[in-house]
Each structure stands twice: as structure tokens, then as C-alpha cells.
């Protein structure tokens, strides 16, 4: 089972990924936690180029670098783990490219779909949690931390990203499960766990 976690800045994805991984390990369910960008040695270098460096990155180059990160990640980490029968929990995946590069940067959505299909070899998540938080609230949560290149983009950019996640939810209603991420982390987690267990149980019966 392949599960992804998506959302704008400050939604608390990584906390929830960790909680679900800890729950799986207590149940003896083998699971692998990973993230994009940066889930491989190549990806770590791409991540620092994309987010931490001061060099300018053209928007199309940005799209291609996220796609390169994903192609490596699929081949080196995600597909092998799924083949071993592990549950893969991934912090960000293709929906982030649609939301950030497609809606945020306003790049051509058909290119993005084609690049996503190429990079993933057609692999799509079985379940996606969209941790939904208004961009103003999410960015305010991050304000006390050092902000990276994308977090420093203006509020309009982050509002377009939010619109992108809404459009994705409408396009993939059975895959994407929306959760109100303004709630306390424990409440968010109990909703994640309930949905995860129901999808996991039906996958065992299938």
C-alpha cells in the first residue's frame, strides 16, 4: 500500500507521517517512511539546490528537477519497498508538483501530468491525506523557523497552491482524503488512523 501526505506549508505533514509510522511499527506492520524532494542521495543534492541554495532556478528547470528527484526516488526507494510488501508512507508526491508548479507557478498542467507519469512509471498512491490548512495560517505557523525559497514566495503563490489542492481533491475524490489540519495534532492523527485502517483492511481482503 502506497500512502502519500500532501498540503501547503505548515500543515504538519511530517509529524503525522511519523505518528502513523510509529503506529505501524507497534502493530508489526512493515513500513517505510520517505519524502520528496530528497528521499535518495541524488535527491538530497537536488533538494538543497531547489530549496536552500541562493542560485536562481528557472521555473521549468524547477519542474524538471522535482521530476528527476521523483524518478530516482521511485526506482531506488518506493518500488523496491512496495515489492518487499512494505507500506510506503511518503511526505509529498505528484500532487505537490501539480499544486506548486502547476497552480503556484502556473506551468502547463499537461506537461506536469506527462512528467509525473514518466517519473513514476505510472505508479499512483492508493491513498492520499490532504492536510488542509489555509495558507495564511500555515505560513504563520512557520514564521518562527528559517524559511526556504518556496516558503518565502508571496501569499498569492500560496493561495494558488491551495486552489490546486482543492482542484486535485475534486478530480480524485476516492484517492484524496481531506483532513482539517488546523485541529490539534492528536485529533488530526485519529482521523488519519481511522481512514488508514479502513483502506488497509480492505486491501487485506482484496
For the bound state, the minimum distance from the C-beta of residue 28 to ligand TMP, rounded and expressed in Å, comes to 28
Q: Write the DSSP string, 11-26.
A: S-HHHHHHHHHHHHHH
Q: Which three cell numbers stand for residue 57?
A: 532556478
Q: In 10 A of CB 194, how many CB atoms?
A: 10
Q: Does 135 bind ligand TMP (CB under 6 A)?
A: no
Residue in 150, 166, 167, 199 binding ligand TMP, rule: CB under 6 A:
150
DSSP three-state, residue 37: coil
Residue nearest to ligand TMP according to CB distances in the complex: 100
Residue in 92, 158, 164, 176 binding ligand TMP, rule: CB under 6 A:
92
Site mask for ligand TMP (CB under 6 A), range 18-37, x = bound? -----------------xxx
Alpha helices in 28-124 (DSSP H): 41-47, 59-73, 79-83, 94-96, 109-120
Q: Does 6 bind ligand TMP (CB under 6 A)?
A: no
**Scanning residues 106 to 125, which ones bind ligand TMP (CB under 6 A)?**
none
Q: Does 96 bind ligand TMP (CB under 6 A)?
A: yes
Q: In 10 A of CB 191, how many CB atoms?
A: 16
Amino acid at each position: 500500500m502506497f500512502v502519500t501526505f500532501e498540503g501547503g506549508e505548515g500543515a504538519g505533514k511530517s509529524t503525522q507521517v511519523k505518528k502513523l509510522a510509529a503506529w505501524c511499527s507497534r502493530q508489526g506492520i512493515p513500513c517505510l517512511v520517505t519524502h520528496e524532494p530528497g528521499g535518495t542521495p541524488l535527491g538530497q543534492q537536488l533538494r538543497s539546490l531547489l530549496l536552500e541554495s541562493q542560485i536562481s532556478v528557472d521555473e521549468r528547470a524547477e519542474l524538471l528537477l522535482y521530476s528527476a528527484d521523483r524518478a530516482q526516488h521511485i526506482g531506488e526507494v518506493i518500488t523496491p519497498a512496495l515489492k518487499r510488501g512494505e507500506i510506503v508512507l511518503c511526505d509529498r508526491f505528484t500532487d505537490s508538483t501539480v499544486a506548486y508548479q502547476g497552480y503556484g507557478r502556473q506551468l502547463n498542467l499537461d506537461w506536469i501530468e506527462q512528467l509525473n507519469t514518466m517519473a513514476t512509471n505510472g505508479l499512483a498512491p492508493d491513498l492520499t491525506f490532504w492536510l488542509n490548512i489555509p495558507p495564511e495560517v500555515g505560513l504563520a505557523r512557520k514564521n518562527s523557523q528559517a524559511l526556504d525559497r518556496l516558503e518565502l514566495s508571496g501569499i498569492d503563490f500560496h493561495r494558488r497552491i491551495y486552489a490546486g489542492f482543492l482542484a486535485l481533491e475534486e478530480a480524485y475524490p476516492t484517492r484524496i482524503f481531506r483532513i482539517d489540519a488546523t485541529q490539534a495534532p492528536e485529533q488530526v492523527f485519529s482521523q488519519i488512523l481511522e481512514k488508514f485502517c479502513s483502506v488497509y483492511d480492505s486491501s487485506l481482503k482484496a
